[in-house]
Amino acid sequence: MKKLLRAFGILMIAAIALAIGAAGLSRAVYGRSLRATLYEFRLRRQHAHPRAAEAENARLEALRHGAEPVRALPEDMAFDCEATVEQRRGMRLFTLNPGGGEATVLYLHGGAYVNGFNVHQWRFMNALARAAGCEIIAPDYHLAPFGNGARACAELTGLYEDWRASHPGRRLILMGDSAGGGLALTLAELIAGTETPPPERLILLSPWVDVTMENPEIEPLLKVEPLLHLDLMRVHGRWWADGLDPRDPRISPLYGDMRGLPPVTIFCGTRELLYPDILRCRDRLLAAGVDVDCRVGRGLNHDYPLMPIPEAAPALDAVAGLCR
C-alpha cells in the first residue's frame, strides 16, 4: 500500500510539474495562458474544414428563396436578469435587465453578417448585465441573404433615433463584436453630425471594419488564425454589400468620416485576421481627433473577451466599468 501511495504521489507531482511547465511555455511563446492556447487548438479543430467559397455562395442563394429565420431567447440558458423580446422597426429586439442601472448598452452581435446570436454573445451580454447592472438591448437585425448593409443602416438608425427620443438624458453605449462591431462604428458615423445625440461611448470587440479583406498585412496571419477564413469572409462581405461598393462606409466603416465620434474603446487580439485593419481603424480614428483606447491582447484570438479563457475576465471587468 505504501508503495502504491508513493507511486501515486510521484505521478501527481509529475503531473503538476508538467502543467506548470506547459503554462510557462504558453506564456513564454504566445504571451497567453495555457487555457487560451488549448482553446485555440479546440477552435482550430472545430473550424478546420470550412465550406468552399462557391459552396457558400450556393448555400446563401438557396436560403434567399426560403423563409427568414425567427430567432428567440435561448431556452437552455439561465439569465441572471429579466430577459424580454419585442418587435421594433421591423426587427426583434431582445432586452436584458430592462431599465437597470444608469446606462443602456445597444449591442450589435457578430456573425459575419450571415449568422445570428451565438452562445458566446448571450453569455457575454448576461455577464455584462450582471457585472455592470446596466440594461442591454440587442436587435436581431436582418442578415444576408434576407438583409444587407443598406437595410441594416436604415433600420438601426431609426431604432437609435426612437430610443434617444424616448429616453432623454439616459446614457447610451454603442457596442458590438466582430461584424457587429463594424456595424456599431457605421451607425456611429451615420449619427455623427446629425441632430440626434451621439452615444456616450463606442466599445468595439474585434470589429470587422473593412469587408474587402484586401490588406496585404492579413496574409501572415492566415497561418495562426483558427476561426476566421479569408475566402468565406470575402463572400459574406459581398452579400452584405449586395450591389454597393464594398468600400461604401455603410458596408466598411474604415472608409467613413470619423470626425466627431465619441470616445472609442477597442479590444482585439494579435492572432486574428482582422488585427491589421483594426490598427488601421485606430490610426484613422486618432487622425480624426477621436479619443481612442485600443487594448491589444498579445497572442489572443478573435473576440477573445467573449471566450471561456482567463484573459476574458479582465476584459469583461473593463467593459463593465465603462457601462456603469
> 52-85, pLDDT tens digit by residue?
999 999 999 999 999 999 999 999 999 999 999 9
pLDDT in tens, 28-58: 879 999 999 999 999 999 999 999 999 999 9
Say if residues 163 and 192 touch (Cβ distance below 8 Å).
no
Number of domains into which the chain is organized: 1
The domain that holds 274 is classified in CATH as 3.40.50.1820
What pLDDT digit, counting tens, does each position of 207-221 carry?
999 999 999 999 999
196/7: higher pLDDT:
196
Q: For the residues 89-116, what does the mean pLDDT come to?
A: 97
Give the whole-angstrom CA distance, residue 324 versus residue 171: 10
CB burial readout 155-169, b (16+ within 10 A) else e: bbbebbbebbeeeee
Asked whether residue 17 is assigned to any structural domain, the reply reads no
Give residue-wise pLDDT tens across range 220-256.
999 999 999 999 999 999 999 999 999 999 999 999 9
Radius of gyration over alpha carbons of the chain, in Å?
21
DSSP 44-95: HHHTSSPPPHHHHHHHHHHHHTSPPP-----TT---SS-EEEEEETTEEEEE
Q: Per the domain annotation, does 134 fall within a domain?
A: yes
Rounded to the nearest 5°, which phi and psi values hold at 11?
-65, -40
pLDDT tens for 132-191 read: 999 999 999 999 999 999 999 999 999 999 999 999 999 999 999 999 999 999 999 999
Whether 278 maps to a domain, the answer reads yes
Residue 19: the pLDDT is 46
CB 105 within 8 A of CB 320: no
Q: Give the Cβ contact number of residue 99 at 10 Å.
A: 10
- Asked whether residue 52 is domain-assigned, the answer is no
CA atoms within 13 Å, Cβ hemisphere of 57:
8
The pLDDT of residue 21 is 59
At 29 the pLDDT is: 79
Here the cell at position 130 is 450582471
Q: Are 194 and 221 in contact (CB under 8 A)?
A: no
In a domain, 174, yes or no: yes
- pLDDT confidence bin for 24, thresholds 50/70/90: confident
Tell me if 100 sits within 8 A of 133, measured CB to CB.
Answer: yes
- pLDDT at residue 324 above 90? yes
Give 282's contacts (C-beta < 8 A, 6+ positions apart): 266, 292, 294
255-314 pLDDT, tens digit each? 999 999 999 999 999 999 999 999 999 999 999 999 999 999 999 999 999 999 999 999
Q: What is the pTM of this model?
A: 0.93
In a domain, 12, yes or no: no
Residue 108 falls inside a structural domain: yes
Q: Is 122 among the domain residues?
A: yes
Instruction: Kindly give the residue spans of alpha helices, DSSP state H, lying in 102-178.
Output: 119-132, 149-166
CA distance 249 to 78: 38
**Domain carrying residue 214:** 77-323
- Look at the alpha carbons of 313, 317, 323, 324 in this order and tell me if their dihedral is positive or negative: positive
